[in-house]
Amino acid sequence: MNIIKKLSLFTVVFSMLFLVSCEDDSSDPATSGTLNISINLTNPDSWPSEGTVFCSLDKTWPPSGAPYKSVVLQSAQVQNGQISLVFEDLDFDTYKLLSVSWLDPANPNPACNQAVWGTHSGSIQAFYADAVPFTFSAENSELSLVVSAVANTVTPECPPTG
């Protein structure tokens, strides 16, 4: 009987240690950022049948290469005129522009082959150079942004070739 008591006591103590070691410590600092994105599309019925629609996040603007993060959007994602996305594991850094755009499949010129549907801020007149940058850090690891977008396939004029 003595061995049964010892085994029972050992089991109870071991179980307590196991449960305590599994405690979730939510005070751990964040190691990357999360961006919650809501895209409000005013005319979802105008989604183009050809080409690709992107939601892109850029660290530099004007861009100097591929976006930092990008995802292809599908018309099936639109629910009641809205698309909800989450970009996770973002570097702690400053980001210049969050945008939604359509890539014209018939135009190979990267200087003029995208129609911007909307951005988190800024204006087309300034080519979005006036967009308000946002920053992720351990103290500010989760943000939510809204992009108001209008589906269109009007790309800017291509620069003259010389």
Does 16 map to a domain? Answer: no
Number of domains making up the chain: 1
Beta bridge partners of 134: 95
Does 124 map to a domain? Answer: yes
Calculate what percentage of the chain has a pLDDT beyond 90. Answer: 68
CA 80 from centroid of its chain's CA atoms: 20
User: pLDDT tens, 52-104?
Assistant: 999 999 999 988 889 999 999 999 999 999 999 999 999 999 999 999 999 99
- Can you tell me the distance from the alpha carbon of 112 to that of 5, in angstroms, rounded to the nearest whole number? 79
Is pTM beyond 0.95? Reply is no
Instruction: State residue 27's pLDDT score.
Output: 66
Residue 85 is part of which domain span? 33-149
Does 4 map to a domain? Answer: no
Does 52 map to a domain? Answer: yes
Does 11 map to a domain? Answer: no
CATH number of the CATH domain containing 82: 2.60.40
Residues 6+ apart with CB under 8 A from 34: 86, 87, 88, 89, 90, 141, 142, 143
Does 95 map to a domain? Answer: yes
